[in-house]
Chain A
Amino acid sequence: MKTCDVAVIGAGPAGLVAATTATSLGLSATVFDESASPGGQIYRAVTTTPVRRPELLGVDYWHGANLVRPFRASGAEYLPATTVWAAARGAEAFDLGVSGGRPGTRIGGTFAARTLLVATGAIERPLPFPGWTLPGVMTAGAVQGLLKSSALVPAGRVVLAGSGPLLWQVAWQLASAGVAIDRVLETIPRGRLAEAMRHAPGFMFSTYLARGLELIRAVRRRTDVVEHVAELQARGDGRVESVRFAVDGEWTEVPADLVVISHGVVPNVHLPAALGCGLEWNPDQSAFQPVADAWGGTTEEGVYVAGDVAGIAGAQAAEARGRLAALAIANALGRIDAARRDALAAPAQRALATALRGRRFLDALYRPSPEFLRPRGAVPVCRCEEVTADAAREAVRDGAVTLHALKSATRCGMGPCQGRSCLATAAELLADELGADCAALAPPSIRFPLRPVTLAEVAAWPSRADAEACVVRGE
């Protein structure tokens, strides 16, 4: 089996820049990505979109093509539609369990890599509210993806709810595509703006400021925006039919065919976590992220993180962090010395500092309210196993005082999504019931495989004690 110098997992801005940088320094790189085409979330389908009016997706979107072009020319091996579902450290290299590929060229089995660069990006923060599992309730990223990949736009009565840059970005893209949005229900609590203002000086220099305000203004001109929505419910029989929302305790119900929700994004940490990388709770972003140094080096030797998986910082920061991690890997593998690494890193470090300006303001402004982060009642917290908030809370009171025990007691996090949709909420509920801080919780124990796999896929995995430990459950 051929061993590459670096396996890059994820072809978003971080992974694309990392692979391009690595190959430019003479390293061999293989890029695995679950999507059918390069770009990651922000630049999804940038090379294949059937949308014919470029202005409709916004100028930021088309920047993705500037990353794909050099990537394609770089000589990095690119495996689209391919999922990395396991990774294990062998004597000389990491073995990756991968599946997928394009129809006709199915990939299965293992790949070997001397280092891993995890650029798996972010997932949308799954915030449970009554009715959020009804068909017709979808995330903003989902609706945006349908537009980018398939030129599909919502029809009928469309209500957007939540808060954060992605909500406004999608509202703007839909409005530009001619979609009539019935209402935007913004969930920023009263008083939050004033609190966030202490971080405003940094934000004044943010590259996002002018652009963000322009989007919000454009949407407000065309749509009814309701502020300070404190509670939300989707209702309907078999599918969503209406939304109820409360502002200052007063409820309103409006008909809806589609409810589009967004509460920001959180790092997609399952791969580094299962690799044994240490995780820490980021209190500003209310989410777990890998412990990493300024180069993206994790607590596991040879495993690096770059982009939003390392903590939410956006697409510009993802490019810079992808480059920094690739430089660190080139140095670790002896391709460049530290002096050359540092010289090449300086522009990326400056770009990163610029991209991070104003992040604290955005984090403070858009942090979901405790009522949304820590739900109560019969609302399902774990979508897969249909575990309710109350059931999870009761299990904690009955003695399930760690994330692991909570999972064993309730099956919360044991379904096919492997806990991606409930991890952040489970941590919040656990902390709430214990009267503790999320930062004090032991991070979750996450194991391979990262998604359900067939026995044939597991059988293709090399039989070695450490590899078997990856797929065999039990402490």
Chain B
Amino acid sequence: MFARLPETGAEAVVVAIDGADFEARAGDSVAAALLASGRLASRATPVSGAPRGPFCLMGVCFDCLITIDGVPNQRACMVEVAPGMRIDTQQGAPPLGTGAA
């Protein structure tokens, strides 16, 4: 539900979102890449399992928690994409011992 303005000069950066290659742009946050790929949700909550997605995009709400390169609970809006980055949406609470935000 987001479209890129045509005239941007930013370079392409290929990341894998839930295993599928996606062409993000240099300077995108992981949340921006997720939204640009047509996904609105980044996770399901540990409390009720409800889907959630990026809400504030400024690091405040923690609704955008996502697994980046295997490390769960990262704020998608505060991490910039890098080539080859693996981004995985997450379901509920991650298993213990896998790291935190």
Interface residues, chain A, with chain B CB atoms under 8 Å away:
34, 36, 41, 45, 48, 50-53, 81, 83, 103, 123-124, 126, 133-139, 141-142, 145-146, 149-156, 177, 238-239, 257-258, 268, 383-386, 415-417, 420-421, 451-454
Whether the Cβ atoms of B10 and A50 lie closer than 8 Å is yes
Option from B3, B47, B51 in Cβ contact (under 8 Å) with A153: B3
Residues of A within 8 A of B7 (CB): 52-53
Contact of B8 among A52, A136, A238, A385 (CB under 8 A): A52
Q: Contact between B57 and A145 (Cβ–Cβ < 8 Å)? A: yes
B38 → A minimal CB distance (Å): 10
Q: Decide if B53 touches A135 in the complex (CB within 8 Å).
A: yes
Asked whether A103 and B8 contact (CB < 8 A) given A152-B2, A383-B63, A454-B99, the answer is no
B83 to nearest A CB, angstroms? 11
Contact yes or no, B47 A385, CB < 8 A: yes
CB distance from B30 to the nearest CB of A (A): 11
- Asked whether B50 lies within 8 Å of A123 as measured between CB atoms, the reply is no
Q: B20: CB under 8 A from chain A?
A: no
Assess whether B14 is interfacial by the CB under 8 Å rule. no
Please name the residue on chain A nearest to B28 by beta carbon. Answer: A150
| Interface of A (DSSP majority class) | loop
Tell whether, in the assembled complex, residue A50 and residue B27 are in contact, meaning their CB atoms are under 8 Å apart.
yes
CB distance from B51 to the nearest CB of A (A): 5
Q: State whether B27 touches A154 (Cβ < 8 A).
A: no
B5–A103 touching, CB < 8 Å? no
Given the complex of chains A and B, what is the CA–CA distance between A36 and B30 in angstroms? 13
Q: Are B47 and A386 neighbours in the complex by a CB distance under 8 Å?
A: yes
Closest approach, in angstroms, between the C-beta of B14 and any C-beta of chain A? 16
Contacts of A454 in B (CB 8 A): 99-100
**B92 at interface, CB cutoff 8 A:** no
Smallest CB gap from B36: residue in A: A152
Known: A136-B40, A139-B55, A416-B101. A152 touches B62 (CB 8 A): no
In the bound complex, what is the Cα–Cα distance between A420 and B59 (angstroms)?
Answer: 10
Q: Which residues of the partner chain A approach B90 to less than 8 Å between Cβ atoms? A: none
Contact B61–A238 (Cβ < 8 Å)? no
Q: Other than the known A142-B58, A152-B2, what 15 A-B pairs have Cβ atoms closer than 8 Å?
A: A50-B9, A103-B82, A124-B56, A135-B53, A138-B56, A141-B58, A150-B29, A150-B36, A155-B2, A239-B51, A268-B60, A383-B63, A420-B61, A451-B101, A453-B100
